[in-house]
Structure 1
Amino acid sequence: MMQLTGQAETLVLKTARELAQLSLSTAEGDFLGAEEDLLAHFGVSRPTLRQAAKIVENDKLVSVRRGIKGGFFAARPDAADAIRTLARYLRMKGGTLSDILVVSRLVSEEAAARACSCADETLLCRLEGFLAGVDSNDTPGAMIKAESELVEIISRMSGNPAIELVMAIGFSFGREEREIGLYREPEHRQTGRLLHRKLCLAILDRDEEIARVIMRRRSATMLEWLERESGVNA
């Protein structure tokens, strides 16, 4: 998009803010108006409105549809988009899975403890299903996928959106860590499966203390493996 300076930039950003506010004042999917309607509403030129709309579209707050029944519609950002953006930012800053684990250890323990109180039958069934398939995870790829799935289930069982966000960033990192050799060793996969099994059983038994201990051990074990791998590749 063409860069703007001075008064033109101020007007585009001002229009973008007002368009975003208009979207947030309505429900997702609501019709905000045709282009001609919004030109009159904001009192700006067509190029200004279109550049402002691109900014708001990038923020996932507006959807612009073309055609006879087209126009501007209220939208909302997808959680997955937000998580990918955060994960991408951390990677650009040199962040690693080890950094995520260091920060998220206490969050993970709290998630495990809160999951013990979960009464959502769908999530409990998912955890039981995960437990039933633990022994089939015998390749590095399968173990990384299992880690990500277990983290997602437990974070949702916690019922805390902030916990879900923090753990989802780790989940996003974990899916991309095949190249570092995590779970490459058979004994690591065996240890991982054992920790998965114990963690699932503790949560299903509603034993908060044991769930915390196992989650703490899981984080410490993975950090040890990652640090060792880093040392080998240094």
Structure 2
Amino acid sequence: MQIHQPRLAEMVADALRDRIISGRLKDGDGLPRQEDLLAEFNVSKPSLREALRILESEGLITVRRGNLGGSVVHAPRVGNAAWSVGLVLQSRGVPMTDLRDALKSIEPVCAGLCAAREDRHETVLPVLRAIHDEVVAAVDDEVGFTVAARRFHEQLVAVCGNETLIVVVGALESLWSSREEAWARDASLTGEFPDRRRRMTGVRAHERILRSIADGAVDRVQQQARVHLESTLLYAVGENRPVAASSPRQIGDVGV
């Protein structure tokens, strides 16, 4: 039975993807040379090129063209999940307000998990305090402040300790951050960015969240996170603006 080229490409992509996901091919590794892959899989050059195109579209490799050539491996990241989730939401015409409401519901849960961690003083607070210092330092830089503040929220999820939430909620955080940072650049140019007083309100909210996490106050930090998100997620939401997917390389990655 003859196997058609698209099916061959999928089989090669499946085999290489399995090596990347299993860790046999690690982040930053190069794929074997084209000649070696052709010999190993016994496929044509068009089938191999299509297999590499599939993996590149998934953010698992970067194909270097020109004299250098070759392909570099990228371990699966939250950015890949954000890309996939973003495509689905965009295809359904889901508005940013829907994404906002999801984050308002779920991010406080992650804040509570941070406060519940017995090792929070070693694993959670050092990370969040370091980023909070960056937020404070950038308070007079509108775009820089937004980038740092979004990192605080992303890392709040990343250190919550639940891997499923880290990936799923992290993907939503990445989608929101991508949009909010674009909004910040525009608002800074048009003079519509919130004034320094409002930025300091956000800084103080972060400080309250940090204190509650340090105290292990789960219910308190969840309530504080909800109140904070109610005010901060008002920005970056255009009238009926839909969620838009960005490529894995454009989306910031959540993690430590």
Q: What TM-score, normalized by structure 2, do the two folds share?
A: 0.66
SS at match of 1:177: helix
Distance, in Å, in 2 between the alignment partners of 1:27 and 1:229 is 42
Flag structure 2 segments of 5+ consecutive residues without an equivalent: 241-256
* Cα RMSD after superposing both structures: 4.1
- Bigger radius of gyration among the two: 1
Of structures 1 and 2, the one with the larger relative CO (CA 8 A, separation 6+) is: 2
Q: How far apart are 1:217 and its partner, in Å?
A: 0.6
- Structure 1 segment 86-165 matched on structure 2, within 5 A: 86-87=85-86, 90=89, 94-95=93-94, 97-116=96-115, 117=117, 118-119=119-120, 121=122, 123-131=124-132, 134=136, 137-138=139-140, 140-164=142-166, 165=170
Match in the other structure for 2:34: 35
Pick the structure with more helix per residue. 1
User: Is the contact made by 2:120 and 2:214 (CA closer than 8 Å) also made in structure 1?
Assistant: no
Distance, in Å, in 2 between the alignment partners of 1:61 and 1:129 is 30
- Going from structure 1 to structure 2, the CA distance change for 1:82 and 1:208 (only over 3 Å counts) comes to same
Distance, in Å, in 2 between the alignment partners of 1:228 and 1:36 is 50
Flag structure 1 segments of 5+ consecutive residues without an equivalent: 1-5
Identical amino acids, percent of aligned pairs? 24
- Going from structure 1 to structure 2, the CA distance change for 1:55 and 1:183 (only over 3 Å counts) comes to same
User: Is the contact made by 1:143 and 1:183 (CA closer than 8 Å) also made in structure 2?
Assistant: no
- 95-104 vs 177-186, which deviates more? 177-186
- Going from structure 1 to structure 2, the CA distance change for 1:14 and 1:182 (only over 3 Å counts) comes to farther
Distance, in Å, in 2 between the alignment partners of 1:135 and 1:39 is 53
SS at match of 1:158: coil
User: Is the contact made by 1:134 and 1:196 (CA closer than 8 Å) also made in structure 2?
Assistant: no
Q: Does 1:169 align with 2:175?
A: yes
Distance, in Å, in 1 between the alignment partners of 2:60 and 2:82 is 16
- Going from structure 1 to structure 2, the CA distance change for 1:185 and 1:65 (only over 3 Å counts) comes to closer
- 116-125 vs 42-51, which deviates more? 116-125
- 150-159 vs 12-21, which deviates more? 12-21
Distance, in Å, in 1 between the alignment partners of 2:139 and 2:199 is 8
- Going from structure 1 to structure 2, the CA distance change for 1:140 and 1:7 (only over 3 Å counts) comes to same
Distance, in Å, in 1 between the alignment partners of 2:72 and 2:143 is 41
Q: How far apart are 1:209 and its partner, in Å?
A: 1.5
